[in-house]
Amino acid sequence: MSIKSATLTAACLLALAACGGESPPPAEDTAAPAATPTGPDAAEAPAASAPAPAAPAAEPPTGPASAGGDKPAAVVTDCATTIEGTDGMQFSVGSIAIPASCTEFTITLNHIGQMPEAAMGHNVVVTATSDMQAVAADGLGAGAESEYVKPDDERVIAHTEMIGGGETTSVTFPVSDLQGGGPYSFFCSFPGHLALMQGSIEVEQ
């Protein structure tokens, strides 16, 4: 710390005080600078003092490579796999590799949490990765009565029911549907879950 930074801090406080009657807390309140990113000093101060809190909605859902990330691959047996969904808004696996010898494949989803479907619903939706965002957005528009999957959405290769804690569901689809040029992803279409609940799915070469 130096006199210069102390002066900057004082300037920030003054700037914040001058800017807004809506947020009286001092600079220590990390919410204040985020809400009023009006000056370069105000933006620098919180970044240096404290990392931004985890914000799932702000994570760039760029694709399965980043989302599946550190999670294990699904265990596949007899052209089927079982994955888990949790109350922590997570799938247990980050990727699913389908043996090329399979003609059909079954994904079973176990919701191992306890929260009800309305609060922590999970499903598995399979689409081309390039369609994922738009399918999720249209699912959101379709609403809870459609279990957040737009009816007859041709971009949806397969999807399970939406389930709550303690429930299980599954879906079976032709493997050839994933051989039209990928990459493909699986994700949960419950509102807000896409960023954290997605992974890659592909047919092995």
Please tell me the distance from the alpha carbon of residue 194 to that of residue 140, in angstroms, as a whole number: 11
DSSP helix/strand/coil, 52 = coil
Q: CB under 5 A: which stretch of 59-67, 99-107, 115-123, 169-177 binds Co ion?
A: 115-123
Burial class (CB in 10 A: 0-12, 13-18, 19+), 141: exposed
Residue 190: partners with Cβ closer than 8 Å, 6 or more residues away: 120, 121, 122, 123, 148, 162, 197
The distance of closest approach from Cβ of residue 189 to Co ion in the complex, given in angstroms and rounded to an integer, is 8
Phi, psi of 21 (to 5 degrees): -85, -10
For residue 18, the minimal CB distance to Co ion (Å) is 44
Nearer to Co ion by C-beta: 12 or 122? Answer: 122
Q: Is 111 a residue that touches Co ion (CB under 5 A)?
A: no
Residues binding Co ion: number (CB under 5 A): 4
Closest distance between Co ion and the C-beta of residue 156, in Å? Answer: 16
- The answer to whether 122 contacts Co ion (rule: CB under 5 A) is yes
The yes or no reply on residue 159 touching Co ion (CB under 5 A) is: no
Q: Which residues bind Co ion (CB under 5 A)?
A: 122, 188, 190, 193
